[in-house]
A and B are shown apart, each in its own frame.
Chain A
Amino acid sequence: MTSPAQPEPSGPEAAAPDEAAGPTAATGADTSPTAAAGADTSPSAGTGADLYPAATRPSDEAAVVAAQAATAATTREALTANPLRDPRDKRLPRVAGPCVLVLFGVTGDLAKRKLLPAIYDLGNRGLLPPGFSLVGFARRDWAAQDFAQVTHDAIKENARTPFREEVWKQLREGIHFVPGEFHDDGAFDALAMALKEIDETRGTGGNYAFYLSVPPKFFPLVVQQLKRTGLANAPHGAWRRVVIEKPFGHDLASAQELNEITSAVFPESSVFRIDHYLGKETVQNIMALRFANNLFEPIWNRSYVDHVQITMAEDIGIGGRAGYYDGIGAARDVIQNHLLQLLALVGMEDPTSFDADALRREKEKVLKAVRLPQDLSLGTARGAYTAGWQGGEPVVGYLEEEGIPADSITETYAAIKLEIANRRWAGVPFYLRTGKRLGRRVTEVAVVFQRAPHLPFSKTDTEILGQNALVIRVQPDEGITVRFGSKVPGTAMEVRDVSMDFAYGESFMESSPEAYERLLLDVLIGDPPLFPHQREVELSWRILDPIEEFWATQGQPEGYPAGTWGPPSADAMMARDGRVWRRL
């Protein structure tokens, strides 16, 4: 939603929602004077007021370092103190202050495929601060240059922007490596030493982000180590942040437990939970679509909407993730986070602003208003894929996958019907479905409208006319489709569905940032709106837990052949309501 959403040279008010939501447009998002004044909650508030504090202070080193770090700590303060910044200067990107990113799990799949390339891409776009340093931690007998090689390879293979020697050089200078196991105190002491040294050689001012790209069972250990070594405690004026990946527990209790572990060490404001869906352009565009336009919001309610379908379909199986997936299943893996977040964004009221508090408050309100079906056996469906043909290739069933016990009751397909008990949505079902080994890979939100109250055509004229729909295509082929009836050319009055398309288009978004780029940048800047709060995580588990408990009593899920669109019970669930799933 860079340019197509804002073709007119609009005034500052008109542009505001875009800025908060869009990535390129976000350059100016934080720079409005009101935002700077209103959101000043950090402990170092106040340093921003005196324009040149260092000049009037004792010049002992600690004070200088602290003062420097203080201003680096939040961009907002820097803005008030920095004569070169101006909210009207929209060309200047948001850049984080000097800092270090400590990456645990650098040998993992996520690090290689997403995180390391995203860091490079940020550098290539000029969004990494001077002095930015990257510290890898892994149980490998590596030197910094070995880790640099791994990073280099990951970038070459997976970065989205072209490889440029000078960008790599800049990044390479800041690459460090600390070998060790998570239970090894010595390794973490070495990490603390290394970080201290980096502060001195690179001027990173004690600002560290710890990215835990490791299996969740190690979170407690790593977090404890960060506490023991004092790395979790930010000295005055600096910041420490921790980034964790899903899953955030497997039910409410475990999510709370996990939260206790992190919150005992890091304050909630320093915990960044990644739901990479929220970093996606198309997902942020839901807010622009709804709140920057006057075309959709008037009909975005029970008076016009018949129902909403939110789908995330994957064509792949569980791959090598048997250990993680079995016992978790589709609903915990996808519905609890991605699909409920999409539901919240589609269903929420307009936030008073796009800052984290306002946005999260609205999302929480919707999640709180979610109601489960009375009879879970009628309002939910689950399945597990059986052997079949997927896109022209034979594939095995879930129970035959390596590492999956033959009596597993884990579902690979889940569909649930939810309602939102408020004035806007009462009586409008939200159908959520996700599955592996479905027909193809697609994620979308379809708002399906009611039929016209009266059709002044003969019945045969409109026989094949469906319901109007607005579809937000999240991935792939990002865009928006509007489906409506149109006259078929000819002498008869025959009306049929046609689609009107807005495509971000493959080539168009070619250079747009990847979700992880946006999210990493937000972590380094300390901008939390796109990260789910613990309250949202817990509310989502409250929705899912009763369903999981019910399913646990139901034995093995119904089979569906790989490459099809889920079990018959899912279709039956829709049929009972007189509806059908969209054919995707």
Chain B
Amino acid sequence: METLQNLALGFSQALTPDALLYCFIGVTIGTVVGVLPGIGALTTISLCLPLTFHLDPLLGLIMLAGIFYGAQYGSSTASILLNVPGSAPAAVTCLDGYPMTRQGRAGIALFVTTIASFIGGCFAIVLLIFFAPLLAQVAIGFSAADYFAIMLLALTAASTLGAGAPLKGLCMMVVGLILGLVGTDLNSGQFRFTFGIPALADGISLVALAMGLFGVAEILANVTSGQLPVLENARVTLRSMIPSREDMKRFWGSCGRGSVLGSFVGMLPGTGPTIAAFMSYAFEKKISKTPEQFGNGAIEGVTSPESANNAAVQAAFIPTLTLGVPGDAIMAVMIGGLLVHGITPGPQLITENGALFWGVVASFWVGNILLLILNLPFIGLWVKLLSIPYKALFPAVLLLICIGVYSVNNSAVDVVLTFVFGLAGFCLNRHGYPSAPLLLGFVLGPLIEENFRRAVLLSGGSLAPFIERPISATFLMLTALILALAGWHRLRKVPVKPVE
């Protein structure tokens, strides 16, 4: 009952005209900027943070949160339409979203993305409202050994993402793992593969890598194909956006699984939406009866990562607001915003600043509904983008990629890296080496190394915690099971399904 009273207090805060206005401004800026390639939620929030310093804390936070999930919604749009991800997590959406566009199903892809995002977001908000303190305790109970085991499972399960030959995918994954090593070794402080370039000391920028491999490589492939793609010239009617009954049947299950998985990954500090999206995609492919459709426009390949990444971003608020532990970099920036207002997040936030806490939580809901209203009519507009001739579109998209990558760290070196990865990705893709496993290896590699070494350090040089801790042992067993199954299929010479 108390929760409901609190919620009522929250809505009374979130439904004032001012709060609605700033929520609306936030989600609109977020959506528009999120659509732009390379500019994800983190960059947008960093850029807009100073704007909120002059606002009332509640309004500022509502606006920032709006930008945050608005960008998350928006970033899938360019993935689906142009195979240019709006942000790193949206790279996963490219895998099946873009094939859907090529099949003339762009409207449907955007529609289900919007709905899936909404469901994922709402699911995590429900968790946040009713179970936040409990879940935060669970999340914080995961030790380094457990993280290691989970990440290893994710890597194993997802090692053949997208379409293409499994061996080539594995090669690319290892390349990703290697690229993840670049920068300062977290344990010794030693610089690895930085070649004396200071900008590389912090590692390769994820955005630069994702934009190069997906955005630039895709454009180069189109430009050199001799025939520029004509993506869509059909008029978008409301009907062309509505998924068929068959689509919807596949939609609900994948969306539900994505929401659960995304919430779980999101509330673990130190993970984030990219990992959530990859994991749910891999999971969906694993349990699918038709895994061969993945990478060729499977609707589950769009809905499950989209619901997962939105659930993850909302679930990231669980440890932030209850323990003061930001789930990811974006949360850290938002906490900085609060500090400027003299408010410290943490367990006492709910008691001391109840109106603020519940106001923000309620505004999440308001914002998600605003986004739904905002996005559905936008779909037609976005699809019309495709009627711009490609030769006019791609130079502009390239410029937006440059700016987007630059804006993350205000670093020109990052843009040079995008160029390098674009060329390399183009060459490798041309020969059937997929980009997605590389990105996954890059994201998970550092986490795997870091947590493995930390677990060993914490146990004083023993490998025992990996087997002794129940969470870790369970996940390691699952990993072994997957590997054993793959080996078994090989041995039996079962017609090689793309099993990992």
Q: Do A and B bind each other?
A: no
